Amino acid sequence: MPKPDDVSHSRRHLVSGLGVTLGAAAVVGPAFAAPALAAASSDRSLEASSLPAERPLMAGRLRQSVARWCFARTPIHDLCREARRIGLVGIDLLGPEEWSIPAQYGLECTMGNSWGSIPVGFNRLEHHDKLVNDGTPYIARAAAAGVKRIVVFSGNRNGLADREGIANCIAGLKRLMPVAEQHGVVLCMEMLNSKVDHKDYHADHTAWAVAVAEGVNSPSFRLLYDIYHMQVMEGDVIATIGRAWPWIAHFHTAGVPGRHEIGDAQELNYRAIARAIADRGYEGVFAHEFMPEKAGFETLGEAVRICTV
């Protein structure tokens, strides 16, 4: 099992390795290490004529996906073939060099990686100019590639008060809303735990992130609710999702504790969580972001089965 610091470093390393560059009133709203990606040669690409007439779909209500970095050792074309085979709709957290590949398999890039980084985010005014200058063309490029969701981050606290961090995030993100709205792209701030994986991360509670979303108040800004991270920080997952529902546009999964496969060896009842989300008429993507302990795709298929409701 990787050490917690290794997990945090692994994702940060992959984000930077995927071709991305670094670039309020109340604290709360209403109650409520991966290796480098293997290069895939062009002859691995699947010709459109060889695709089956219809992708096999799971008999469920959620549109499920998988995070690229969790299977970083798998060439992207192989991952797309497997995703199609087990009924996923796409691949999550792709960098620009891979945005166009899922479409070759009848899939989507369900979430684009950020142009920024996890520790350096919108919660500090001194970061805004670079984040806006880098983000403006990045958003346009994503839209041209058909990518409609991009993950963004609050950044680390580094001693900053919650109230100030929220206000700063609102101010910085508002500068990007005109270009995001123009291109039909939604920036999704991810909530991460600051106990185990991302020490000192600011958006580590749902209420904090909801306050940012309320302040930005744009259809092009929503939240990425990571079930694993929020279980570590606050629990009460189903009720919290219900209270924050208007602002949530994306979900991530992983087992607690350990961030490994979901199932009966960890504490979350993912079938119940998936059913509660589906019952609300959710039309977004429900993406698996666990670090598999077992080789191959068997546990990914099992996760899809558990969440097929």
Query: For residues 269 and 47, is the Cβ–Cβ distance under 8 A?
Result: no
Tell me the pLDDT tens digit for each residue of 152-182. Answer: 999 999 999 999 999 999 999 999 999 999 9
Q: Is residue 43 in some structural domain? A: no
Q: Is residue 57 in some structural domain? A: no
Confidence of residue 88 (pLDDT cuts 50, 70, 90): very high
pTM score, whole prediction: 0.84
Quick one: average pLDDT of 49-75?
Answer: 77
Whole-number pLDDT of residue 295: 86
Q: Is residue 188 in some structural domain? A: yes
Q: Is residue 208 in some structural domain? A: yes
Q: Is residue 261 in some structural domain? A: yes
Tell me the residue type at 215. G
Full residue range of the structural domain in which residue 117 is found: 4-35+62-306
H or E element, residue 224: strand 221-226
DSSP string, 108-167: EEEEEPPSS-SSS-TTSGGGHHHHHHHHHHHHHHHHHTT--EEEE---B-TT--HHHHHH
Average pLDDT along the chain: 86
CATH number of the domain that residue 158 is part of: 3.20.20.150
At residue 90, the 3 state secondary structure works out as strand
The total of structural domains in the chain comes to 1
Sign of CA dihedral 273, 275, 280, 284: positive
At residue 302, the 3 state secondary structure works out as helix
At residue 221, the 3 state secondary structure works out as strand
Q: Is residue 299 in some structural domain? A: yes
Quick one: average pLDDT of 110-134?
Answer: 98
Confidence of residue 71 (pLDDT cuts 50, 70, 90): very high
Q: Is residue 55 in some structural domain? A: no
Q: Is residue 83 in some structural domain? A: yes
